[in-house]
A and B are shown apart, each in its own frame.
Chain A
Amino acid sequence: MSAAGTSRRLPGVEGVWVFVAADMAFFAMLFVSFALARRDQSALFESGRQALNRDLGGINTLILLTSSWCVAMAVEAAQRNQHKALQRSLWGALLCAVAFGISKAFEYTHELRAGITPLTNDFFMYYFTLSGIHFVHVIAGAVVLGVMLQRARSGAYNREDHRGLEVGATYWHMVDLLWVMIFPLLYLLR
């Protein structure tokens, strides 16, 4: 709407969007595979779901949504040449990523100590696969956020040149939205 009649554009570079589209297609297949397995073993999947910590999963959702907001605000700060606000927003996003990592590590530790592993049953195989692949994405994203923060501190992003920031932001938003689907599938769906 706002760009009607002018230039519609994808933020960042096209390559990152191809990567994001492919990664999301891969996750879509995992989601469908999970739903089919859940249909065939609904009692087992329900008991597995009840063993998960819904509160931690919910808090992790709020953390990732907040980190995504911070990254969106960082891009807008760069477009305004507001370097302090840019760095503050990236710090916020990075702290959220670290908080998610700590929370998820705590959750995994608690589960493993209770004797729950990917081999426990099909539900936990999917649980560790889906959340584990996503966790790897979070770690990679935290590194990306760290690099972007370092570059922001050296003044690399400004109103005219912030494509690198948009590339990292696009990746990080994907990490967020994948969790927005993973969380209800694993923790909420009865």
Chain B
Amino acid sequence: MMAAIEPPLNRRSTRTTLVWLLLMAVATVSTWGVSAGDVAAPLAAVMILLIAAFKIRLVQLHFMGLRDAPLLPRLYFEVWTFAVAGAVLGIYFSAKTGG
């Protein structure tokens, strides 16, 4: 099973570490930058939730291995991420617009 797709493991580990560094950087910006108060609340909400969706997708694809998964499970988890972020944002703005 493994021998058929012998990946360049050293390169994969480098990629995994780069993804982790990106996740740490983006999480730091989201926590102590965007949410600090200088950015208007609605814009901050969009940025914070899009960053969360981006981070989740990175974890799913590069850490969980969904990058090389069959289409159906990958689709489920991709849809989950954007459905959750989209629903939360939709509800957030329905309040802002008095809906």
Contacts and interface: CB of A to CB of B under 8 A. Distances in A.
Contacts of B31: 54, 57-58, 61, 183, 187-188
A69 interface: yes
Interface in B1-42: 1-2, 4-5, 7, 9, 12-13, 16-17, 19-20, 23-24, 27-28, 30-32, 34-35, 41
Given A21-B76, A39-B91, A188-B30, A10 B70 contact: yes
Interface stretch (A101-109, A123-131, A134-142, A169-177): A169-177
Contacts of A31: 84, 87-88
Q: Is the interface of A mostly helix, strand, loop or mixed?
A: helix
A117 B16 CA distance: 40
A28 B56 contact: no
A180 interface: yes
B5 A177 contact: no
A82 B39 CA distance: 46
B70 A8 contact: yes
Contacts of A24: 77, 80
A7 B4 contact: yes
Nearest to A71: B63
A187 B65 CA distance: 29
B16 A180 contact: no
B19 to A, nearest CB: 8
A42 interface: yes
B56 A177 contact: yes
A3 B55 contact: no
B99 to A, nearest CB: 9
A167 to B, nearest CB: 12
Interface string A13-47: 00001000100110010011001101110100000
A11 B91 contact: no
A10 B27 contact: no
Contact of A69 (B17, B73, B91): B17
Given A11-B65, A68-B63, A189-B45, A6 B4 contact: yes
A80 B8 CA distance: 10
Given A9-B70, A17-B73, 5 more contacts: A9-B1, A21-B77, A28-B80, A61-B27, A181-B52
